[in-house]
A and B are shown apart, each in its own frame.
Chain A
Amino acid sequence: MHSFHSRFDRRRFLLGAGGLGLSAALPRVLFAHTGGSARLVVVILRGALDGLAAVPPYADPHYADLHRELAIAAPGSPKGALALNGTFGLHPSFAFLHERYLAGELVVFHAVASPYRDRSHFDGQNVLENGLTRPLGTADGWLNRALAALPAGAGAGKAGEHAVAISQNVPLILRGDAPVISKSPQATPDVDEELLSRLADLYSHDDWFSARLSEAVQTEKLTDEGGDPAPAMAAAPGGAVKPAAADRVGGAARMAATLMRSEGGPEVAVIEASGWDTHANQGGAQGALAQRLAGLDGALRALAEDLGPLWPQTAVLVVTEFGRTAAMNGTRGTDHGTGGCAFLAGGAVRGGRVIADWPGLNPGALLDDRDLRPTLDLRSVFKAVLDEHMHVDARTLSTRVFPDSSGARPLQGLMRA
């Protein structure tokens, strides 16, 4: 513990290079040029994931005192963290992510945040998705603006769609001028074709409705051609109040993979998962949050399995609006905070690394005496992925996609060459 402490007195350093060596064994070359262009899946965790539980900084001397019974023990202890690099671990629910880390396919970011510094979920999510430094000011999302700048042609859907939102409606991150489709995991049994064609006539004088109807019809065809449709989400038997959240995100992940693998399918998908707002009875290695994390981990595994041959050209970005308080609150949970964690997984990712300029959890280091202080701007991650993976040009990124982001320079070398 003492040697650890002295290391942390030097504030600026990047932790990394964990399991890079292992990945050389993968048969990447076989897939590298078979499936066309790069694929990107963005997973938005709504409600503010506790980064100090998901990626426990178990070696920080203040961690266990602050997080108390919510803290995850060091690797090797009973129900301890899954080891990353001697400082950080993964929550024990993250079996799949840990495999990817060891395979050199996962980068873990810590002490990361969007430019938003207040603690409202809704404003925080707006900033996460609109790509600005403030919650209002644009009606479109950064991913849509990036899509609009993608080189035309390669891989675009029949109506030019590059992206799909795995939900009935399109979340802010994907709203904008570039055409996108939406498709929920809940299957729509066949709708009478004649009714659809008569509706198309009825909508012919209403652009707004007719655009949506033709998108919907296209998407239906896409899933039909995509082979095995995602298992229909059971419509809450007997009107149950909640189908398991874990199943919901798993179904969404499988739907994303199905669509992306279909002929002319989208290259980009956005999945949302909620239920991270753990103000009370959060639990530690087991409990409420642990179950959610296991559901997320299982969904990511399903995504990778179902993407199959596309996985080597895929990057999956997992982000949340902000982190939570460093200290446990009075109801065995955590309140809204600032710095947290993010993940970048996939066969296209140069992983096996933790990227964290760790500010420490000592009282002087906390933001406003309560939160993990962010040292990395999420936009630096977003820009790097869009640049290195999706090949959106740097100028567009710093002007149209992320205005006012000159302070957030893209990270380098996140993706494999």
Chain B
Amino acid sequence: MQTEIAVLRFGLGARPGDLAAAAGDPRAWLMAQIRGAVELAGNTPLTPSDQIFAEVQAARDYAQEMKREGAQAPAATGAAAPFNPVRNAYLPHYRAQVLARAQSAALTARPFAERLVHFWTNHFAVSADKGAVSGIAGTLENEAIRPHVGGRFIDLLTAVEQHPAMIAFLDNQNSVGKDSDLAQLAARRQARRAFAEQGTDASGKPVRQFGINENLAREILELHTLGVDGGYSQTDVTAFAEIISGWSIGGGKGRLAGGTPGRFYFRDNLHEPGAKTFLGKTYREDGLAQGEAVLSDLARHPATAHFIATKLVRHFVSDDPPPAAVARVANAFLKSGGDLPKVYAALIESPEAWDAGARKFKTPEDFVFSTLRSLSISPRQPEEVLHSFDLLGQRQYTPGSPAGWPDTSKAWDGSDALMHRVLWASRVADRYEQGLEPVDVATSSLGAYARPETVTALRRATSSTQALALLLMSPEFQRR
């Protein structure tokens, strides 16, 4: 079963030939995948985040201008959606990112590394549900995670927290220190104009009160590094929010002009000045570097090592992570200073991970990607992928919450969810059965996991379409 565990549990499912390729030395097959950047497999062209950002911004400006002028929107033709320039700007990028992700999962020759990419994307979750992120959610994965997944945790962490998708998702771009240059300037102006008492400026708009937003700071601590029980207090959250005030996105107008539009930009005039105490340590004022110093300490913190190890073991071993495996992986994290290939190696070397009895129920993502690989399908149109995930309840890049999608079977095993899987499996079978021999697919995709009763059921099926649907819905295919 070692080969099956390597390919099906650690990887994304077996393309024909995968099991044979791993059979000689399953551990070595995994180890060979874990170092260095992980490129997208497939050939869908993608646009970089700064360019998408600029396109969406231009569409927003245009929409605002239309609104100001009271211009009539061009009439929508037929049953098409109403004309929406902003949506038209971000949607093609979202669709391309979803398609590219599925193709890469279907085709990659490094499926374990690809799964690790998905793991980190879910760990550092952003959601395309949020307007400001809709066009760039997938770019976090491709631009910040893929380059660093086989490198050091601190580099991964820094790239993620300084990516515009994360900054925008957790609202840090306009977080302003109370004593920052900008806030001070605004305060002086208000005092001069003496409008402060009424709370409005001359045009009747409320006076802008500047302050921090603690969302990003809190989630970095709770979800990205230390974990909720990592020993920080509300005071630490507030201090950290001040430390990273000014971590923003380039572009903007007037006093907020500066930086390259759509790229990470440190706005000195928004940053709360001064030394700050965080987790009992004082960090001297150092602009952008003050926050980077905190990240660097967080990346080496034992609570971070434990938290990341727990999540990795939950993902690769069991919903209830065995403490011995967690300790082994956490120790590798600490000892190596967060050198991720060493962390992954500790995971591979954990005997608990190779227990054939401890299988995870697949998430919809696991189910779709392993189906693509098992049937040698690479989707060509975004719709194929989008509709699949709509149906199965895991729309790509929309975990909805910064905690990411749940990683335990309880969150995915509802009876209604199972019915949706049956429906999807039968549609896939309808569409792709031609030229496939279900019993052969069972062998090439499940190897020794295929139970005799399943193979018998496939042989007795009334059609190859029905057989294929049965295979995809068999308990052994539904688990990894």
- A residues whose Cβ falls under 8 Å from a Cβ of B: 46-47, 68-69, 118-123, 135, 139, 165, 167-170, 175, 181-184, 186, 188-189, 191-192, 194-196, 198-199, 201-203, 205-206, 208-209, 212-213, 215-216, 219-220, 235-242, 274-275, 277, 279-280, 328-331, 333, 335-336, 368
A196 contact set on B, CB distance < 8 A: 422
Closest CB in chain B relative to A282 CB, distance in Å: 11
Q: Render B367-386 as a binary contact track against A, CB cut-off 8 A, 1 for contact.
A: 00000000000000011001
Q: Render B170-211 as a binary contact track against A, CB cut-off 8 A, 1 for contact.
A: 110011100000000000000000000001000000100111
In the bound complex, do residue A241 and residue B466 qualify as a contact, i.e. CB atoms below 8 Å apart?
Answer: no
Q: List 24 A-B contacts (CB under 8 A).
A: A119-B237, A122-B228, A168-B414, A168-B420, A175-B410, A182-B416, A183-B416, A189-B423, A195-B422, A202-B457, A202-B470, A202-B475, A208-B413, A209-B418, A209-B475, A212-B413, A219-B419, A237-B81, A279-B170, A280-B213, A330-B209, A331-B171, A333-B171, A336-B218
Q: Which of B4-12, B88-96, B324-332 contacts A (4 or more CB under 8 A)?
A: B88-96
A275 contact set on B, CB distance < 8 A: 129
A165 contact set on B, CB distance < 8 A: 414
B462 contact set on A, CB distance < 8 A: 194
State whether the Cβ of B478 lies closer than 8 Å to any Cβ in chain A: yes
Which A-chain residue is minimally distant from B213 (CB atoms)? A331
B387 contact set on A, CB distance < 8 A: 235, 239
Closest CB in chain B relative to A23 CB, distance in Å: 37
Q: Render B391-416 as a binary contact track against A, CB cut-off 8 A, 1 for contact.
A: 11101001011010000001111111
B416 contact set on A, CB distance < 8 A: 167-169, 181-184, 188, 216, 219
State whether the Cβ of B473 lies closer than 8 Å to any Cβ in chain A: yes
In the bound complex, do residue B473 and residue A329 qualify as a contact, i.e. CB atoms below 8 Å apart?
Answer: no
B206 contact set on A, CB distance < 8 A: 68-69
Taking A241-B91, A335-B218 as given, write out 14 further A-B residue pairs in contact, using a Cβ cutoff of 8 Å, ordered by the A residue number. Answer: A68-B206, A123-B228, A169-B414, A170-B410, A182-B416, A186-B420, A196-B422, A219-B419, A236-B390, A239-B95, A239-B98, A280-B171, A329-B211, A333-B213
State whether the Cβ of B215 lies closer than 8 Å to any Cβ in chain A: yes
Closest CB in chain B relative to A36 CB, distance in Å: 24
A206 contact set on B, CB distance < 8 A: 475
In the bound complex, do residue A47 and residue B457 qualify as a contact, i.e. CB atoms below 8 Å apart?
Answer: no
In the bound complex, do residue A239 and residue B383 qualify as a contact, i.e. CB atoms below 8 Å apart?
Answer: yes
State whether the Cβ of B234 lies closer than 8 Å to any Cβ in chain A: yes
Closest CB in chain B relative to A196 CB, distance in Å: 7
Closest CB in chain A relative to B112 CB, distance in Å: 27
Which B-chain residue is minimally distant from A172 (CB atoms)? B410
Which A-chain residue is minimally distant from B400 (CB atoms)? A274
B383 contact set on A, CB distance < 8 A: 238-239
| Contact of A181 with B386 at beta-carbon distance under 8 Å, contacts A238-B81, A280-B174 already known | no
B225 contact set on A, CB distance < 8 A: none
A123 contact set on B, CB distance < 8 A: 228
| Contact of A216 with B419 at beta-carbon distance under 8 Å, contacts A202-B454, A239-B387, A331-B213 already known | yes
In the bound complex, do residue A331 and residue B473 qualify as a contact, i.e. CB atoms below 8 Å apart?
Answer: no
Closest CB in chain A relative to B218 CB, distance in Å: 7
| Contact of A167 with B414 at beta-carbon distance under 8 Å, contacts A198-B457, A199-B470, A241-B91 already known | yes
Per the bound structure, the CA–CA distance linking A66 and B252 in Å amounts to 28
Closest CB in chain A relative to B150 CB, distance in Å: 29
A329 contact set on B, CB distance < 8 A: 211-214
In the bound complex, do residue B453 and residue A205 qualify as a contact, i.e. CB atoms below 8 Å apart?
Answer: yes
Selected contact of A195 from candidates B215, B222, B418, B426, CB within 8 Å:
B426
List 5 A-B pairs, minimum CB-CB distance, nearest first. Answer: A330-B211, A169-B414, A182-B414, A239-B386, A215-B415
Selected contact of B393 from candidates A118, A169, A208, A212, CB within 8 Å:
A169
A239 contact set on B, CB distance < 8 A: 91, 94-95, 98, 382-383, 386-387, 390
Per the bound structure, the CA–CA distance linking A228 and B222 in Å amounts to 45
Selected contact of A242 from candidates B129, B234, B475, CB within 8 Å:
B129
Closest CB in chain B relative to A49 CB, distance in Å: 15
State whether the Cβ of B128 lies closer than 8 Å to any Cβ in chain A: yes
In the bound complex, do residue B386 and residue A236 qualify as a contact, i.e. CB atoms below 8 Å apart?
Answer: yes
Selected contact of A139 from candidates B90, B237, B410, CB within 8 Å:
B410
